[in-house]
Amino acid sequence: MKIIEIFKKNKLLTAVSLAYVILFIAIPDKAYLSVKNSMYYIIEMLQIMPVIFILTSIIEAWVPKEVIMKGFGEKAGIKGSVFSFLLGSFSAGPIYAAFPICKMLLKKGASIANVVIILSAWAVIKVPMLANEAKFLGVQFMGARWILTVIAIIIIAYLMTIFVKKKDIPVQDEQDIGKVTGIDIKEQYCIGCGLCEKLLPRHFEVIDKKAKWKESILNDVQIDELKPVIAKCPVKAIGFK
Amino acid sequence: MDIFTASLWGITGAAFIASLVKDKQKTFNSMKMAKGMMKNMVGQIIGILLLIGLILTFIPPEVIKSTLGESNTFISTIVSALAGSITLIPAFVAFPLVGSLVDAGASIIPAVAFLTTLTMVGLVTFPLEKREFGLKFATIRNIFSFVFAIMIALAMGVIM
């Protein structure tokens, strides 16, 4: 059972390994050549992979995201855009991890342009990733692509403000506290950090790296207890339902 | 180890020590995060790296040159940009793959188009984006990102 799960999680690796096994039996010469061809990239990757993950984690721990988030809004102008670039560039994770954070910033008054900048910068401009790109494709390649991408992001952000207005973006109405029936956790965004479990073990539990809500009926006191936890969730995956 | 990687280790080492001095617990937690990220990705990384070996062994450089090379830029760029839009692999593992193809003779224009749409355009994550920001925002952002990815790629072709 567990082995099947491991295979399922690593579909690509399983398929490639299978191809290698068949190859080693059928045409061993070619199999050796393939391993030899991969070797250069494996060695290069081993040298740079740990350092990139360590750097990403240190940046994630020390860059004061909350301070950056406070730094912009509708009126923040160029300063706001610079902050948006910084926030996107210094965050870890794929683009969809930025969705709930951007949604929250929109609610707090961030402009469409700045949200587009955060999303795009989050996707393409990562300091440690730039190091990886320079390693495998050259410093010049990385530098040129970086400059062009920054220019493109600014233009896209500006164009977006022409086509999309704030009213086009769906808003969930603020929940009436009297009608709160429980907690909703968006699993796609949860990174299983365990912060909610640490703060309120009575209500939250991390199972299989995803936070789960322990069903219970909420009274006003508990709802007040839950509010700071909802605000503290680093990926903004928790909300009332 | 080349100078570039060595200096990156140097910078990271210094940052790590500074972080350790400032807050031990925070540093340990961040290392736990690094370990988790690595564990999540290592299968995919090894898979891609071994795949590179197979590609380089079984697809002759002439074929890579003729399909992804200079003579075929227009179609290969569009196809690469589309491929980047639908795949959801971390950019981290895409760099060595793309690097190996460029070394084997692929033109950098489709390579850049793939790398840029890979991260900026997301068809797989489109439903999520639509739910949070609405159909209009998600559609227009993805279309613009696609178009600009191709423009970035073409500009790279001129510069490099």
Beta bridge partners of A212: A205
Mean pLDDT of B103-132: 90
Global pTM reads 0.82
Chain A contact set for B115 (CB, 8 A): 133, 145
The distance of Cα A3 from the centroid of its chain, to the nearest Å, equals 28
pLDDT at A77 over 80: no
Report pLDDT for B111.
Answer: 94
For residue A42, give the nearest of B8, B49, B54 by CB distance: B49
ipTM score: 0.87
Is B95 in the A-facing interface, judged by CB distances under 8 Å?
A: yes
Note which residues in 27-46 of chain A have CB less than 8 A from chain B. Answer: 30, 33-39, 41-42, 44-45
Helix (H) or strand (E) holding A184: strand A183-185
All structural domains of chain B with their residue ranges: 1-43, 59-159
Q: Distance between CA B76 and CA B27 in Å, rounded?
A: 45
For residue B122, give the nearest of A13, A95, A132 by CB distance: A95
Interchain contact, B156 vs A16, CB within 8 Å: no
Question: Candidates 3.30.70.100, 3.40.50.2000, 3.30.70.20, 3.65.10.10; correct CATH number of A177-240?
Answer: 3.30.70.20
Report pLDDT for A187.
Answer: 82
Q: What percent of chain B has pLDDT over 90?
A: 46
Report pLDDT for B136.
Answer: 94
The distance of Cα B147 from the centroid of its chain, to the nearest Å, equals 18
Cβ contacts of B155-160, under 8 Å, gap ≥ 24: B155/A148, B156/A141, B156/A144, B156/A145, B156/A148, B156/B108, B156/B109, B156/B112, B157/B73, B157/B107, B157/B108, B157/B109, B157/B112, B159/A144, B160/A140, B160/A141, B160/A144, B160/B108
Mean pLDDT of B13-42: 87
CB pairs under 8 A between A and B: 216
For residue A55, give the nearest of B12, B48, B120 by CB distance: B12
pLDDT at B36 over 60: yes
Interchain contact, B54 vs A16, CB within 8 Å: yes
pLDDT at A234 over 60: yes
Q: What is the mean pLDDT of chain B?
A: 89
Instruction: From A230, A234, A238, select the one nearest A211 (Cα to Cα).
Output: A238
> Which of B140, B142, B146, B158 has the highest number of chain A CBs within 10 A, making it the mutation to test binding with A?
B140
Return the structure tokens found at A2: 């567990």
Report pLDDT for B43.
Answer: 85
Instruction: From A132, A110, A112, A131, select the one nearest A120 (Cα to Cα).
Output: A112
For B46, nearest residue in chain A (alpha carbons) = A13
- pLDDT confidence band for A74 (50 / 70 / 90): low
> What amino acid is encoded at B150 in this protein?
I
For residue B119, give the nearest of A61, A99, A123 by CB distance: A123
All structural domains of chain A with their residue ranges: 2-47, 63-168, 177-240
Chain B contact set for A20 (CB, 8 A): 50, 54
pLDDT at A154 over 90: yes
- SS3 state at A142: helix
Chain A contact set for B120 (CB, 8 A): 95, 120, 123-124
Residue A168's CB is within 10 A of a number of other CB atoms, namely 14
Return the structure tokens found at A57: 């984690």
Q: Tens digits of per-residue pLDDT, A6-18? A: 777 778 888 999 9
pLDDT at A124 over 90: no
Q: Minimum mean pLDDT among A70-79, A115-124, A201-210, B49-58: which range? A: A70-79
**Which of A9-18, A23-32, A175-184, A206-215 shows the highest mean pLDDT?**
A23-32
For B12, nearest residue in chain A (alpha carbons) = A55
pLDDT at A67 over 80: no
Is B33 in the A-facing interface, judged by CB distances under 8 Å?
A: yes
Chain A contact set for B38 (CB, 8 A): 49-50, 53
Chain B contact set for A10 (CB, 8 A): 43-44, 47
Residue B39's CB is within 10 A of a number of other CB atoms, namely 10
Interchain contact, A37 vs B53, CB within 8 Å: yes
Q: How does DSSP classify residue B71?
A: G
Interchain contact, B50 vs A17, CB within 8 Å: yes
- Bigger pLDDT: A8 vs A75: A8
For residue B98, give the nearest of A36, A44, A137 by CB distance: A137
pLDDT at A175 over 60: no
Q: Tens digits of per-residue pLDDT, B62-106? A: 888 888 887 778 899 999 999 999 987 778 888 999 999 998 889
Chain B contact set for A150 (CB, 8 A): none
Report pLDDT for B113.
Answer: 95
